[in-house]
Amino acid sequence: MPRIVLIGAGSVVFTKNLLGDILSSPALRSADIALHDIDPDRLATAERIARWTATALDATPMISTHLDRREALRGADFVVNTIQVGGARATQVDFDVPARFGLRYTIADTVGVGGVFRGLRTIPVVLGIARDMEEICPDAFLLNYTNPLAILVRAVSEATAIRVVGLCHSVFWTVDRLAEYLGLQRDEVDAASAGVNHHAFILSLEHRGRDLYPDLRAFVDAGRTPDDDLVRAQLFQRLGFYPTESSEHHAEYNPWYIGKSDAAGDAVERFHVPIGEYLDRVAHNLDEYAETKRMLEAGEPFEIERSGEYAATIAEAMTTGAPARIVVNAMNGGALIPNLEADACVEVPGLVDGLGVHPVAMGPLPLHLAAYIRGAVDMQGLTVRAALDRDRDAIGHAVMTDPIVQSHLTLDDAWRLTEAMIGAEAEWLPSWLGGAAAG
Amino acid sequence: MPRIVLIGAGSVVFTKNLLGDILSSPALRSADIALHDIDPDRLATAERIARWTATALDATPMISTHLDRREALRGADFVVNTIQVGGARATQVDFDVPARFGLRYTIADTVGVGGVFRGLRTIPVVLGIARDMEEICPDAFLLNYTNPLAILVRAVSEATAIRVVGLCHSVFWTVDRLAEYLGLQRDEVDAASAGVNHHAFILSLEHRGRDLYPDLRAFVDAGRTPDDDLVRAQLFQRLGFYPTESSEHHAEYNPWYIGKSDAAGDAVERFHVPIGEYLDRVAHNLDEYAETKRMLEAGEPFEIERSGEYAATIAEAMTTGAPARIVVNAMNGGALIPNLEADACVEVPGLVDGLGVHPVAMGPLPLHLAAYIRGAVDMQGLTVRAALDRDRDAIGHAVMTDPIVQSHLTLDDAWRLTEAMIGAEAEWLPSWLGGAAAG
Amino acid sequence: MPRIVLIGAGSVVFTKNLLGDILSSPALRSADIALHDIDPDRLATAERIARWTATALDATPMISTHLDRREALRGADFVVNTIQVGGARATQVDFDVPARFGLRYTIADTVGVGGVFRGLRTIPVVLGIARDMEEICPDAFLLNYTNPLAILVRAVSEATAIRVVGLCHSVFWTVDRLAEYLGLQRDEVDAASAGVNHHAFILSLEHRGRDLYPDLRAFVDAGRTPDDDLVRAQLFQRLGFYPTESSEHHAEYNPWYIGKSDAAGDAVERFHVPIGEYLDRVAHNLDEYAETKRMLEAGEPFEIERSGEYAATIAEAMTTGAPARIVVNAMNGGALIPNLEADACVEVPGLVDGLGVHPVAMGPLPLHLAAYIRGAVDMQGLTVRAALDRDRDAIGHAVMTDPIVQSHLTLDDAWRLTEAMIGAEAEWLPSWLGGAAAG
Amino acid sequence: MPRIVLIGAGSVVFTKNLLGDILSSPALRSADIALHDIDPDRLATAERIARWTATALDATPMISTHLDRREALRGADFVVNTIQVGGARATQVDFDVPARFGLRYTIADTVGVGGVFRGLRTIPVVLGIARDMEEICPDAFLLNYTNPLAILVRAVSEATAIRVVGLCHSVFWTVDRLAEYLGLQRDEVDAASAGVNHHAFILSLEHRGRDLYPDLRAFVDAGRTPDDDLVRAQLFQRLGFYPTESSEHHAEYNPWYIGKSDAAGDAVERFHVPIGEYLDRVAHNLDEYAETKRMLEAGEPFEIERSGEYAATIAEAMTTGAPARIVVNAMNGGALIPNLEADACVEVPGLVDGLGVHPVAMGPLPLHLAAYIRGAVDMQGLTVRAALDRDRDAIGHAVMTDPIVQSHLTLDDAWRLTEAMIGAEAEWLPSWLGGAAAG
């Protein structure tokens, strides 16, 4: 039975869902589950939800909890990373400091100023995990869910020998949404996607061999898109391929919405761009954690549904040898998507078999889609360079790639913003940046 | 229900096996099966075995037969190619003319002089099929089983817009054989392979996560390898990875066996190299065809077992959307195996899903394995260049890559052999080579 | 003696300078010079200045004039292209239509909306020249000076078999300017540059083996940069490498200046960005042409100095075999600058010898410089795709890459601007775009 | 004035020629020349010939001699490497041990068994030089003349940060020879070549723009090739491009001559293949050294002619900034010759300017030429892997690439030969191979 280690297990809802998937699998129902968190209260809650889930599913895992990370890693086959460095407070800074320069964001966890600094504060911690793995469980797979995902996979791949893949459900839920738009059953819809995480596009969309794009175009052109997906719908109209992730994310991935207006009015209003959305989610997560604790104490039941997280799919396929198809983030090598950088971390379909995860070579992206994506890839590369080479200038160069910064700031202000962020996030930044954290 | 067209259906044993696989699949049991052959007698036999198989499996396919290829292709979803150009007589020439120069071969259908000329006589015919497909069923997949496989996939990919993959069971049976050596159940053994068709290597071999190579090394070192696999066993000892295909093939893929001896004696004898093996198989196939006809007429039953041919796997996965893992031959693009030529046709694992066949990026081959393979890749490229560019010199250059020619002939004799072959195979060669065939 | 054909010879000042260079070379003083223009008056003036130059230099060229392009091309060794499609009027449209959307530009001939449409109206004409060359002088070199240079080299390379290089003096004059800043003799300064045309960077700058960048940094930091070069100086401070071309160009190549202000004031004013500069130059060129005619008629002398245009250098080196070093724009092939697109036209040093022009492999650009350049490369690729594939959407996608458009328009307005430009430039656009021109 | 260090200065004839070139250059006549050798007698002789040369050329260099290598390297701008590890005795072993297995060679210093072992004994010493340079003169260029050249450039490039180029006059003398065949002046002939060292081909050969290949073909076809160049002439007839280096080398670079015969007789005799040629040269070099000493003592004069060695050309061009064209061996990077391995050391034209040596991107080799070369590239890669990774198996894999071994040995004998060589050359091999040398 494989040993599956959850780093950041205190994200209890994710832990519940992931264990729901794992323990529903006949091949994994007796798996060895090791939970790690640095917060004892959250770790205790994670253990309770884990044991509740096992009982509810009639599964017989071995469950252990560890405040010591290295102890958790001992004998690991799979290490699932879901940590958040800096938590709610750091996220608040990611929004507040840019706001002083007049910049508004929706999510701020992937690219842009927020993505750069989430990267800078998270890279050293994740490298610490990977280096522990090199010592303790060098053959284990690191399955990373933490954002900024592409940056972290790239940093681990470049700086350590640990096998790592980045996992994200954004493609899964995009296809789900499109099936819903067209009134189709999700599992009858086949989709192929390629790009980088949160910046991929659906390249093919079929229902039993029939191309669905004409129907989808008719749906969008008829104005039937829900308000919360208008940004992606417009990008689809102009680019010809549907973007993955979500409209709230894409609103800050390009220069076309935030701070823009035309004869039809202000784009933020018209496209229902939810400025500050991620701050609401952070608050909601805290509430949800409190509610989960309350329910556990009250002995109230939870709902368990297979969530389709790929960590369970990978563990199952590698254990049984039965092939599975996932979406995976892995180093490009110039091979998976030849017209993106060789050292980019790209998102493509992947085959899982008994030997591991094998990303699929997808060929070049249509040129205009590549053009939409390149800024994100450069931002990722420059953030990794900054962190690994301790290159302060590269932070400014990464901030220069932010389309919101580009649309609204001068070059001097972009630099002032960079320095202001370094100061405001010192608590979580490494010492070479004058920060108080390790690394 | 997909329409599956068998070109060269008169290879009745293959047709029986393939239909056995297809009609055993619940998703394909009512498939539309179109049989084509240019030989009316063989086509009639193929139809009878097809109908017998359907009945035996309680399946309800639509079966049609076509002497006219274009008629067969109408509405095709999958076109399975198993033709042999020149048949038994051309194969005889492939052995006889080199023998006049003192050269001995075992199979002669993949590389070397025989591979070059099998390529030259087959490329125009297969391009004819692909060009018919461009007109009649441009979205259909061409599933090519015919040898020289890599040459044909490369020629079709370069000269037409048809999606083509090459399918071969040599990896499958290699893993089967190795499992047998180690006393393991075949379906518990996981293997990853990479290279070019008939020249791939098993890069990983595991039983439930345990590396099997130490056991296999012990098996070989103990002298337990059967006589018919001594060539691959020695290559494994020297190269560290087990070659796919078979010992009789590899004996002519390198300079180390045929015509060689050392203190231990003559290598052909010592390694049980079956010179002329393919001629025996050709004779056996003719006998088998006669026996099949006799059994059909006598109403005797056949055995049906799933043969694991990937054509059925592909049709099933693309029809149902359930993912499958196969081994596939596809254009490298510099991406699948970065240290082989970008325009090589390489053999790697592949993911099949509802949208198609997606080859997996395998990373660079160990350098000494790449070195073992390169001559074959160049031979394939030069043969394709000769055929597509009508470049007679390139035929000589292709013959120059043959390790048997290299070991035994002068450069002048290599050229004389080339010209002798062009003369002797004129019946099947295109007119630009002075031949009597089309193209 | 080589035959050198000047297409667009009516750009009389350029013609004078180029002939000054050519006829000063001992190896070329009797060259066969063929002048072509579609404007008889300009052609006549070009001939007079050519003859005047020959006399002044005591050279003995054969000079011919041709209103018929194909006649001019007969027997050509080198074809120098300096045409302008649409002339002053089209340039005015390039500024006026975007201005209706609130967009300001300085030069508008390389990237952005103006670059896209200059490309669309020029590509068919230059392809016409190259196709004439394929028929009439297939071995001749096409030396292209016309803008948008990278787009034209790329279109000719992709659509024809003609050998083409793009030539531009922007690197030459950048190094000249930097030498002047540092009080050094220009010919004692060694510089290596790489990038794409007008978007290259000086990667090394040395005086007799001594790195000049510390001195240049001190010069800039001391505020000694002249007003007309403040944009490049700031980019140098932030990026660490000096950009080539000029400050007026770079002001519109990125989002940092036009329409931007910060606490220090409006960036256009502060950095002395000359909005509409190119319109002034166009007017000046018309004046200069009139003045040249007047001087010729009055028999007044001109000044002749070697201008360092590389067309003469190439003709001389290929004629004599003596090697020369130039800066050249050529197809990347993934090789010259590996981290720019394989099908980009890049600008790198080049070796000229008796056999031709050989671009030098420069290795990857520093990542943040590549990030600065990529938008231009995508704009070039999308414009070429639009023109060659007759893809109207690709025009919008090309306009989407313009940093000025990105900073100031919504996506809908970007599309409206695109359509407005197609309408306003119909006179010079090909018929597939509803235009009145050929192609 | 640059400091030029000669490592292995005791190769006195080379030292005389190189100093003749350097001191003839006005820019270098006062250069700082540091001579190093480990043999005091040879070093003293080198100094005497150096001083004699300076006087003869009326030059005023600073000449110093150093038995201590690190002292010689102090302040170096250029380090010229011409060492021979193992000298005449090791060369004798390179011939004698293979001879015991029936193998005959001509030169044995580039590829094949001799090349592998020359590589294994020389790599550690040259890496020692490069590592000293990293400490003492990290910005100096290493100009390597020592064989096996490609292997050494590759090892230094991979294992150190020193800038290194490999220099060889084989292309120069090939062009010289072809000009002579055609009765032309050498400096009027333009040639472009590409490949790997000793395995390059003349891709273009022109006299003032006229293709010379038809004339050369006529020359060869008429049987006018001298006896000492018959191998290359036949390769030219079959491959269509003239090989560089010489016939005696090529005779052992392919399987077509040594040990081969056909109706026309034994190929070694017919093509005048000088078996053991290099042993004669080694003996001759010893005689020449003795004669040089005698002449110095007798005060007899030497002849000085510019030899065209590129080390002097590089030093001159980098000192003056005047561009020069050389032929250079440098790491491919996938860029210089895209269809050879990315980590091959390839031989292409190069531009030298004030900043350094810039290899030219030559595009893909014709496929059949690449096929001729690949075995050598793999042999080089495997030898480097063996030395840097201390991988004994890789030595066997390198020996497996030798066409002479391939033609004549079984796989077991190839392995026995490998082990016999390791034993016989222990004196010069590193300790990880059981040898007595450092590294």
Per CB-CB distance under 8 Å, the chain D contacts of C324 are: 323
The residues near D183 (Cβ < 8 Å, ≥ 6 apart) are none
> By mean pLDDT, which of A238-242, B140-144, B380-384, C333-337 is the weakest?
C333-337
Read off the pLDDT of residues A246-267 as tens digits, 9 standing for 90 and up. Answer: 999 999 999 999 999 999 999 9
Q: Say whether residue A243 is in contact with chain C using an 8 A CB cutoff.
A: no
Q: Do C358 and D355 touch (CB under 8 A)?
A: no
And the tokens for B221?
Answer: 């070192």
- Calculate the CA C298 to chain-centre distance: 33
> What is the band of D307 on the pLDDT scale with cuts at 50, 70, 90?
confident
Q: Which chains touch C (3 or more CB pairs under 8 A)?
A: A, D
At residue D306, does pLDDT exceed 80?
no
- Chains contacting chain B through 3 or more C-beta pairs under 8 A: A, D
Contact between B98 and B373 under an 8 Å Cβ cutoff? The reply is no
Percentage above 70 pLDDT, chain B: 100
CB contact set of D332 (below 8 Å; sequence gap of 6+): D340, D341, D342, D343, D344, D345, D346
Q: How many CB pairs (< 8 A) connect A and B?
A: 93
Tokens for B25?
Answer: 């699949």
Residue B85 has phi, psi (to 5 degrees) of -90, 120
Residue A343 pLDDT > 80:
yes
pLDDT digits 0-9 by tens, A191-203 = 999 999 999 999 9
Q: For an interface test with D, give the residue of C206, C336, C355, C362 to mutate (most D CBs within 10 A).
A: C355
Residue D365 contacts residue D373 (beta carbons within 8 Å): yes
**Cα distance from D379 to chain C (closest Cα, Å)?**
24
Q: Are strands C78-81 and D210-211 parallel, antiparallel or unpaired?
A: unpaired
Residue D366 forms contact with B (CB below 8 Å): no
Interface probe, candidates A351, A352, A365, chain B, greatest B C-beta count within 10 A: A351
Mean pLDDT within A20-45: 96
Task: Please answer yes or no on whether C367 and A375 come within 8 Å at the CB atom.
Answer: no
Rounded to the nearest angstrom, the minimum Cα separation between A286 and chain B is 38
Q: A192: part of which helix (H) or strand (E)? A: strand A189-194
CA angle B239, B245, B249 (to 5 degrees): 85
Cβ–Cβ of B239/D403 closer than 8 Å?
Answer: no
Q: In this complex, is the C-beta atom of D240 within 8 Å of any C-beta atom belonging to chain B? A: yes
State residue A348 phi and psi, 5-degree precision: -145, 165
pLDDT for residue B49 is more than 70: yes
User: Are β-strands D163-166 and D32-36 bridged in parallel, bridged antiparallel, or unpaired?
Assistant: unpaired
The answer to whether residue A190 neighbours chain B at the CB level (below 8 Å) is yes
Determine, for residues B361 and A335 on separate chains, whether the beta-carbon distance falls below 8 Å. yes
The per-residue pLDDT for range A352-391, each reduced to its tens digit, is 999 999 999 999 999 999 999 999 999 999 999 999 999 9
Task: Flag whether residue C335 sits within 8 Å of chain D, measured between CB atoms.
Answer: yes
Is the N-terminal amide bond of C40 cis, ω within 30° of 0? no
Q: Which residues of D carry out catalysis? A: 169
Q: State residue A437's pLDDT score.
A: 92
- Residues of B catalogued as catalytic: 169
Backbone angles phi, psi at D193, to 5 degrees: -130, 155
Query: Is residue C203 within 8 Å of residue C360, measured between CB atoms?
Result: no
Look at A238 and C411 and tell me if their CB atoms are within 8 Å. yes
Q: Predicted confidence band at A439 (pLDDT cuts at 50, 70, 90)?
A: low
Coil vs helix vs strand at D329: strand
Q: pLDDT tens digit string along A147-179? A: 999 999 999 999 999 999 999 999 999 999 999
Query: Do D336 and C333 make contact, defined as CB atoms within 8 angstroms?
Result: no
Distance from CA of A212 to the nearest CA of C (A): 20
Q: Is B261 on the interface with D (CB under 8 A)?
A: yes
Amino acid at A339: N
Count of residues in chain D: 439
Q: Any CB–CB contact under 8 A between D209 and chain C?
A: yes
First to last CA, chain D: 35
Backbone angles phi, psi at A154, to 5 degrees: -65, -45
The 10s digit of each residue's pLDDT in B370-390 is: 999 999 999 999 999 999 999
Quick: pLDDT tens for D114-143: 999 999 999 999 999 999 999 999 999 999
User: By C-alpha distance, which of C119, C48, C124 is closest to C345?
Assistant: C119
A257, A338, A397 member nearest C371 (Cβ): A397
Q: Which two tokens stand for residue C401?
A: 């890459």
Environment class of D11 (CB within 10 Å of its CB; exposed 0-12, middle 13-18, buried 19+): buried
Q: Which of B151, B252, B412, B416 to mutate to test the interface with D (most CBs of D within 10 A)?
A: B412
Alpha-carbon distances of D263 from B102, D51, D402, rounded to whole Å: 13, 57, 26
Structure tokens at D69: 């290598």
Give the residue on D whose Cα is nearest the Cα of B341: D339
Confidence bin at B438 (pLDDT 50/70/90): confident
What whole-number percentage of chain D has pLDDT above 70? 100
**Per-residue pLDDT at C69:** 98
Average pLDDT over every residue of B390-401: 98
| Residue the block writes with tokens 């509430």 | A287
Strands C32-36 and C3-7: parallel
Would you say C149 and C382 are in contact if contact means Cβ atoms under 8 Å apart?
Answer: no
H helix runs in A137-273, sequence order: 149-159, 170-181, 213-221, 230-239, 247-250, 267-270
Dist. CA A4–CA A140, nearest whole Å:
9
Instruction: Check CB contact of A267 with chain C, cutoff 8 Å.
Output: yes
Q: Which residues of B touch D409 (CB under 8 A)?
A: 260, 262
Residue B186's closest chain A neighbor by CA? A321
In this predicted model, what pLDDT tens digit does every residue of D410-431 receive, in sequence order? 999 999 999 999 999 999 999 9
- Do D3 and D34 touch, CB atoms closer than 8 A? yes
Q: Using CA atoms, how far apart are residues C230 and C246, in angstroms rounded to an integer?
A: 10
**What tokens were used for A76?**
């690991």
Question: Phi and psi dihedrals of C228, rounded to 5?
Answer: -80, 5
As a whole number of angstroms, the distance between CA B232 and CA B230 comes to 6
Q: How far apart are CA B242 and CA B232, in angstroms?
A: 7
Would you give the DSSP letter of residue C70?
H
Q: How close does chain C come to D272, measured CA to CA in Å?
A: 34
B342 in reach of chain A (CB within 8 A)? no
How many CA atoms lie within 13 Å of A219's alpha carbon, on the beta-carbon side?
A: 19
Mean pLDDT across D315-339: 95
- ipTM reported for the complex, 2 dp: 0.97
Q: What distance in Å separates residue A226's CA from the closest CA in chain C?
A: 19
Q: C412 at the A interface (CB within 8 A)?
A: yes
CB C360 within 8 A of CB D361: yes
Task: Specify the pLDDT at position C306.
Answer: 73
Please report which confidence band the pLDDT of residue A82 belongs to, taking 50, 70 and 90 as the band edges.
very high
Distance CA C11, CA C188 (A): 32
Residues 6+ apart with CB under 8 A from C432: C390
Counting as low any pLDDT under 50, the low residues of chain C are none
Is residue C410 less than 8 Å (CB to CB) from chain A?
yes
Distance (Å, rounded) from C-alpha A22 to C-alpha A2? 11
User: Cβ B360–A355 below 8 Å, yes or no?
Assistant: no
The beta-carbon neighbor of D394 closest among B368, B381, B415 is: B368
Residue B439: its pLDDT value, please?
67
Please check the confidence at residue A305 and state whether its pLDDT lies above 90.
no
Residue D243 near chain B (CB below 8 Å) = no
Residue D382 pLDDT > 70: yes
Shortest distance, CA B295 to any CA of chain D (angstroms): 47
Contact D413 B375 (CB under 8 A): no
Closest by Cβ to B413, choosing from D240, D262, D370: D262
- Contact status of B193 with chain A (Cβ, < 8 Å): no
Q: What is the dihedral of CA B169, B175, B181, B183, to 10 degrees?
A: -120
Nearest C-alpha in B relative to D406: B255
What is the rounded distance in angstroms from the CA atom of residue D84 to the CA atom of residue D87?
6
Residue C351 and residue D325: Cβ atoms within 8 Å? yes
Q: Which of D206, D323, D361 sits opposite C335 (nearest CB)?
A: D361
Nearest CA-CA partner of A151 in A126, A129, A174: A126
Predicted local confidence at residue A309, as pLDDT: 85
